[in-house]
Structure 1
């Protein structure tokens, strides 16, 4: 009887493991920038000017669709990516967005960028 119970338990666990699909991945990178957080935040929060600081993007077009703010990025490779702004927190200097579709190999991509005071004067820390 004990072997049967263990067998059912192992079968149940193995089915649940495969039922959930791939595990979500989390990547977090930070960089120090020699500029005040206010100046860095002014650039980051400008959702329509991503190409000004992201070298892989040549153009950015923003449009409103109902309550959503969408941006279409044109990549140097010629591909396009459509993203939706999920939120801007001025006080926390945090911008959240997600990729809806496009020429990047990701699914369910949700991201945020946070600007904070750096360790030195006139220095910022940006975490993406």
Structure 2
């Protein structure tokens, strides 16, 4: 009985430590906006994978490597890049799916005695969906992404590399993009 109680006590001590010692968890962001423009016009602009620079304020330029791969150059210091691959365009459902394949390293720091890269966005394993649909008051555009933070080790996490930092950055990307898409299409 004494051994059983000891085993129970050890187990109860270890379980909380294991629960807190984990790497990143998958995050999701979803933003949407209503645009006062015909659904066909909105869909035509959104589905043009080579023209996000025409409506996203953070994108300086787009270079198409092939029909399904684009490299975005951003308007940030050092002009960092993001390479994305188009996974699917569904005209019937008015849905576009893409993934991030590569990003620039904008800086490297030493954290916990290891070189830690900071990428253009603090995310990894990023996949995104953009949906366009007609609604009573115009056209709804919904942008959703699923991803992990880029820092894959267990806590502690370097500044700017936490799950909440990744969510905040992607939320800002989506909100600013959707707001400017609305501005461009409602002119």
Match of 2:50 among 44, 48, 57: 48
For residues 5-52 of structure 1, the C-alpha deviation after alignment (integer angstroms, 9 at most, x for no partner) is: 464376367536635x11111110000101111110000000011101
Structure-2 change in CA distance of 1:97 and 1:6 (3 Å): farther
> Residues 56-95 of structure 1: matches in 2 within 5 Å?
56-64=58-66, 69-77=68-76, 78-95=79-96
Q: Where do 5+ consecutive residues of structure 1 fail to align?
A: none
Task: Tell me the C-alpha RMSD between the 2 structures.
Answer: 2.0
User: Number of paired residues?
Assistant: 122
In structure 1, the residue matched to 2:32 is 30
How do 1:12-27 residues align onto structure 2 when only pairs under 5 Å count?
A: 14-15=17-18, 18-19=21-22, 21-27=23-29
Q: Which residue of 2 aligns with 1:115?
A: 132
SS in 2 for 1:54: coil
Shift of 1:105: 1.9
**Shift in CA distance, 6/119, structure 1 to aligned 2, threshold 3 Å:** farther
Give 5+ residue unaligned stretches, structure 2: 104-119, 144-187
Work out the CA distance in 2 between the residues paired with 1:87 and 1:18: 36
Distance 1:94 1:112 in 2: 7
What TM-score results when the alignment is normalised by the length of structure 1?
A: 0.83
TM-score (normalizing by structure 2): 0.59
Structure number with greater CO (CA < 8 Å, separation at least 6) is: 2
